[in-house]
Chain A
Amino acid sequence: MFVHYAMPLEGIYLFGLLAGALALLAVSGVGSLLAGRWSERWAVVLGAGGAGVACGAGLAGAIGALLCRVDLTVARPWRMPYGEFRLGLDPLSAFFLIPLFLLSGLAALYAIGYFRPWKGRNPGRFWLFFNGLVASMALVVAARNGVLFLAAWETMTIASFFLVIFDEADSRSAHAGWIYLVATHLGTALLIGLFVLLGSGAGSQDFGTYAAPAGMAGGLFVLGLAGFGTKAGLYPLHVWLPEAHPAAPSPVSAVMSGVMIKTGIYGIVRLLVILGTVPGWCAWLVLGIGAASGILGVLFALAQHDLKRLLAYHSVENIGIIALGIGLGMMGVHAGMPVLAALGFAGGLLHVLNHAIFKGLLFLGAGAVAHATGTRDIERLGGAMKRMPWTGAAFLVGSAAICGLPPFNGFASEFLIYMGAFKAILGSGSAALGGVTVVTALALIGGLAAACFAKAFGIVFLGEPRSAAAAAAREVGGSMRAPMAVLAALCLAIGLLAGTVLRAMDPVVAMLAGNPSTVAAPGAVWVLMPATLFGVLALLLGGLLLLAALRRRLLAGRANRETVTWDCGYAAPAASMQYTATGFAQPLTQAAEGILRPRVESQLPQGVYPASGAYHADTPDVARRMLFDPLFRAAAERLGQLRWLQQGRVHWYVFYLVAVLALLLGWALWA
């Protein structure tokens, strides 16, 4: 029954681990739903326990497969036209499985504490969809048959849709869920077209037999970029992200933003592997979209008041950074610059892993704040550092990492992309232009991201609480703290051990950047990397020590005492005297007013002794307002004209069916 391809013993073992993880996820999800009818406790034990054990096994299997460079395919027949149960495990799949299982397992642990206050509802409903989401994501990454891939892809969509609308008391969740469902189904429609075209040559949906019809590689790549980009959140197809991420429960936001949108990146990269060579302009397209996603994502993030919405826009930004890396890599392949290709792909893919870790951490932190205060509105928070020191420290680490500051992991991947860009600038012709684009975009993104997280961290965690709810915040429990601590430690560990991680990624990069012999050259880069990194680190650390010494010297012999935050010489400081989030970001958002188009309601203070003043700015998504809303309104208007077909009479519906079937029969017999 089984067909084995070059399957060494350890491959079988590791594959078994992954298959076992998938089966356990499915069984525990259903079991949890059933158990939940009798006992909430058992539902959580089954659901979370199953997810935890399965993710542990899956993680071990994926890391093992990457280190052992396993490359195997297993196939079983499936009663489905063109379908086959063909699963594969190669370095690329293994690499994407690592963050998937890591973050999902930690989010499952976090969810135990997160849902503790939700008494009286069957927790099995959550665990069924959560475990289903994890299993289907893993299946997407492992599928080697187009029909199987699409089936897993749609299961993933449905499971995540139900998780987004899980908080059904909130009607905004339902609205966000529908936006998500429509967006992602439009993406899937494009993917169906892509797979049909890819498989039309060989008449098979096996990934191994896929071939682009002559001269169509570029067109197919664009089709895939749009289809997968909708899931990944590339601009301007990102519109569902800022709606769905805030609406979902926080552990789900972490998994969706951290790993689910990465399945879109996986799809794009897998498509590159399948197509082999794509025209040069495709690299430019990816670069352009990446730059747009990065810059616009961070600009819109800057203007948000909702903490999770802000983080959602940062996902758009980081997907943009990943696309910049991949675009550089494609450019390197096209220009015949193996070092550039290796640096670009390595940077982009490492950022996939890094973003999963720090964005997961940040969403879990935001969830902890929302859990403790009952609000996600930044303007009503403040002073959380003193009340929630663990969460605060973890969020600070995540913020530093997402801004690309050393010694955390975000620095390592962005540094690789910078290195690639400078390599490109030293090259010739269009590659140099691409390098300049990337450097400019990345520098702008980095600066704005730093400003944005200065705002997010500063307003939420520093200063004094801006509302009674924020003042009453308490640190969250152990099951929510532990995952954040692990992720924060990983941010630091990957930052420090970037060289080791990159060496482990060698086979993945080799798959994309050309044949292994050309990757031998950038192998030298991997050796240089840690040296460079540690050099920079030593410099920074030395600088810090110098500053500390200076501070000591300046303060020597003076009396110093501690006082309240933001005293600023006021006799009676109040919380409302602090900077607001809007106020903090205003200089930057005003500079970008032409792009952001905020809706401002302001009442400026009048006179010498102003009695009152108000300023309120709301920044809805421009792509949605200018592009998708009019588009969908027009479509609804056109399609509304077909309403007369819906008579509400069974007789007519039967008539439609019979008429169509009779026409088809006649066509088949006479045509």
Chain B
Amino acid sequence: MQNGIGILLIFLILTDLLLLGSSRLRNAIRIGAAQGVALGLLPWLAHGHLTGAALLLGAGSAALKGVVFPALLNRALREIHVRREIEPLIGYIPSLLIGTGVLAAAFAFGARLPLPWESPSPLLVPAGLFTLWTGLFLIMARRKAITQVLGYIVMENGIFALGMVVVEAMPLLVELGVLLDVFVAVFVMGILVFHINREFDHIDSDQLTALKEGAP
């Protein structure tokens, strides 16, 4: 069991690094989906037994992140004819370098973070933090709105992993609420991306500076 959870968390960290380095959007969506499905196993692996709540949570999140979100994002991709992120704000090699720095920071933070319960694996907190920060980094460093939606989903994966530490204490409802939140966000952003594209012929979110106060 301890092996299983370790492998899963290492998979999480590796996929995060992969996301930082990938320019093809379809690929990135697939990686995010794989992360989501893998995380669906986490409640079972972390606690060694299957409660009804954990089962519901795992299955729900795997279905949503493995099937529904990728489908929505792929549909958006098809409709706006974008394949890859050209000219990211921070390039892929620097992104990977920063990513390793962030990973080191995640381990440093994870070692010091006081936890109310014993963590099922020493890797859990660092991997969760790293996934969370990777998601935020994607939001900051990429231009296309689609990648930012993806960053949002990855961030939620990180929150989900961190939540495993306290899932016994954290009510199921909270996690379901977060999932619903992300679902609505992805849904709305998918529609929004589509409409922005139709109005402006691009989905570069940095062009939103035109809306800034006092912009020409």
State the A residues within 8 Å of B (CB). 646-652, 654-655, 658, 665-666, 669-670
Interchain CA distance A649-B136 in the complex, whole Å? 15
**Contact-residue size bin, chain B (C-beta under 8 Å from the other chain):** 10 to 19
Interchain CA distance A648-B211 in the complex, whole Å? 7
Q: What residues of A have a CB within 8 angstroms of the CB of B209 in the complex? A: 647-649
B111's nearest neighbour on chain A, judged by CB, is A669
Q: What residues of A have a CB within 8 angstroms of the CB of B215 in the complex? A: 648
Interchain CA distance A665-B206 in the complex, whole Å? 28
Q: Knowing A669-B113, A670-B112, say if A651 contacts B141 (CB, 8 Å).
A: yes
Residues A669 and B212 in contact, CB atoms below 8 Å apart: no
B109, B113, B133, B206: the one contacting A649 at CB < 8 Å is: B206
B109, B113, B212: the one contacting A648 at CB < 8 Å is: B212
18 residue pairs from A and B, CB less than 8 Å apart: A646-B212, A646-B213, A648-B210, A649-B206, A650-B205, A650-B206, A650-B208, A651-B89, A651-B140, A652-B140, A654-B136, A654-B139, A658-B133, A658-B136, A658-B140, A665-B109, A669-B109, A669-B113
Mark out the residues of chain B between 148 and 172 whose CB falls within 8 Å of any chain A CB in the assembled complex: 148
Q: What residues of A have a CB within 8 angstroms of the CB of B213 in the complex? A: 646
B114 to chain A, nearest CB (A): 8
Q: Mark B118-150, 1 if CB is under 8 A from A, else 0.
A: 000000000000000100100111000000100
Q: Mark B191-216, 1 if CB is under 8 A from A, else 0.
A: 00000000000000110111111010
Main secondary structure, interface of A, reads helix
Interchain CA distance A652-B139 in the complex, whole Å? 10
Q: Mark B167-182, 1 if CB is under 8 A from A, else 0.
A: 0000000000000000
B140 to chain A, nearest CB (A): 5
Q: What residues of A have a CB within 8 angstroms of the CB of B212 in the complex? A: 646-648
B85 to chain A, nearest CB (A): 13
Residues B208 and A649 in contact, CB atoms below 8 Å apart: yes
A567 to chain B, nearest CB (A): 62
B37 to chain A, nearest CB (A): 27
Interchain CA distance A155-B133 in the complex, whole Å? 38
Q: Knowing A650-B205, A654-B136, say if A669 contacts B141 (CB, 8 Å).
A: no
Q: What residues of A have a CB within 8 angstroms of the CB of B211 in the complex? A: 648
Q: What residues of A have a CB within 8 angstroms of the CB of B89 in the complex? A: 651
Name which of B113, B133, B140 has the most chain A CB atoms within 10 A of its CB: B140
B133's nearest neighbour on chain A, judged by CB, is A658
Residues A655 and B112 in contact, CB atoms below 8 Å apart: no
State the B residues within 8 Å of A (CB). 89, 109, 112-113, 133, 136, 139-141, 148, 205-206, 208-213, 215
Interchain CA distance A650-B141 in the complex, whole Å? 10
B21 to chain A, nearest CB (A): 19
Interchain CA distance A666-B106 in the complex, whole Å? 11
Interchain CA distance A649-B212 in the complex, whole Å? 8
B137's nearest neighbour on chain A, judged by CB, is A658
B112, B140, B206: the one contacting A669 at CB < 8 Å is: B112
B98 to chain A, nearest CB (A): 12
Name which of A647, A650, A651, A669 has the most chain B CB atoms within 10 A of its CB: A651
Interchain CA distance A168-B139 in the complex, whole Å? 40
Interchain CA distance A658-B136 in the complex, whole Å? 8
Interchain CA distance A650-B109 in the complex, whole Å? 26
A331 to chain B, nearest CB (A): 51
Q: What residues of A have a CB within 8 angstroms of the CB of B210 in the complex? A: 648
A653's nearest neighbour on chain B, judged by CB, is B140
Identify the 5 closest CB pairs spanning chains A and B, nearest first. Answer: A648-B212, A648-B209, A669-B112, A651-B140, A655-B140
Residues A651 and B109 in contact, CB atoms below 8 Å apart: no
Interchain CA distance A652-B215 in the complex, whole Å? 16
Interchain CA distance A97-B25 in the complex, whole Å? 65
Interchain CA distance A655-B98 in the complex, whole Å? 14
Residues B109 and A666 in contact, CB atoms below 8 Å apart: yes
B87 to chain A, nearest CB (A): 13
Name which of A648, A655, A669 has the most chain B CB atoms within 10 A of its CB: A648
Interchain CA distance A647-B215 in the complex, whole Å? 10
Interchain CA distance A647-B212 in the complex, whole Å? 8
Q: What residues of B have a CB within 8 angstroms of the CB of A655 in the complex? A: 140
Residues B136 and A651 in contact, CB atoms below 8 Å apart: no
Interchain CA distance A651-B138 in the complex, whole Å? 9
Interchain CA distance A655-B141 in the complex, whole Å? 9
A646, A648, A654: the one contacting B140 at CB < 8 Å is: A654
B187 to chain A, nearest CB (A): 19
Q: What residues of A have a CB within 8 angstroms of the CB of B141 in the complex? A: 651
B142's nearest neighbour on chain A, judged by CB, is A651
Q: What residues of A have a CB within 8 angstroms of the CB of B112 in the complex? A: 669-670
A665 to chain B, nearest CB (A): 7
Name which of B133, B206, B210, B213 has the most chain A CB atoms within 10 A of its CB: B206
B213's nearest neighbour on chain A, judged by CB, is A646
Q: What residues of B have a CB within 8 angstroms of the CB of A647 in the complex? A: 209, 212
Q: What residues of A have a CB within 8 angstroms of the CB of B133 in the complex? A: 658
Q: What residues of B have a CB within 8 angstroms of the CB of A652 in the complex? A: 140
B61 to chain A, nearest CB (A): 24
Interchain CA distance A666-B105 in the complex, whole Å? 10
Interchain CA distance A132-B106 in the complex, whole Å? 49
B210 to chain A, nearest CB (A): 8
A650's nearest neighbour on chain B, judged by CB, is B205
Q: What residues of B have a CB within 8 angstroms of the CB of A658 in the complex? A: 133, 136, 140
Residues B139 and A651 in contact, CB atoms below 8 Å apart: yes
A648 to chain B, nearest CB (A): 3
B154 to chain A, nearest CB (A): 13
Residues B208 and A648 in contact, CB atoms below 8 Å apart: yes
A491 to chain B, nearest CB (A): 51
Q: What residues of B have a CB within 8 angstroms of the CB of A654 in the complex? A: 136, 139-140
Q: What residues of B have a CB within 8 angstroms of the CB of A646 in the complex? A: 212-213
A651, A665, A670: the one contacting B205 at CB < 8 Å is: A651
Interchain CA distance A665-B136 in the complex, whole Å? 16
B149 to chain A, nearest CB (A): 12
Interchain CA distance A650-B207 in the complex, whole Å? 10
Name which of B141, B209, B215 has the most chain A CB atoms within 10 A of its CB: B209
B159 to chain A, nearest CB (A): 13
Interchain CA distance A654-B148 in the complex, whole Å? 11
Interchain CA distance A646-B209 in the complex, whole Å? 10
A651's nearest neighbour on chain B, judged by CB, is B140
Interchain CA distance A670-B136 in the complex, whole Å? 23
Interchain CA distance A650-B205 in the complex, whole Å? 7
B195 to chain A, nearest CB (A): 17
B46 to chain A, nearest CB (A): 23
Interchain CA distance A655-B137 in the complex, whole Å? 8
Interchain CA distance A650-B209 in the complex, whole Å? 9
Name which of B113, B136, B205 has the most chain A CB atoms within 10 A of its CB: B136
Interchain CA distance A665-B132 in the complex, whole Å? 14
Q: What residues of B have a CB within 8 angstroms of the CB of A669 in the complex? A: 109, 112-113
A670's nearest neighbour on chain B, judged by CB, is B112
Interchain CA distance A647-B209 in the complex, whole Å? 7
Residues B206 and A651 in contact, CB atoms below 8 Å apart: yes
Q: Add 19 more A-B contacts to A650-B148, A655-B140 (CB < 8 A).
A: A647-B209, A648-B210, A648-B215, A649-B205, A649-B206, A650-B139, A650-B206, A651-B89, A651-B139, A651-B140, A651-B141, A651-B206, A654-B136, A665-B109, A666-B109, A669-B109, A669-B112, A669-B113, A670-B112
Q: What residues of B have a CB within 8 angstroms of the CB of A648 in the complex? A: 208-212, 215
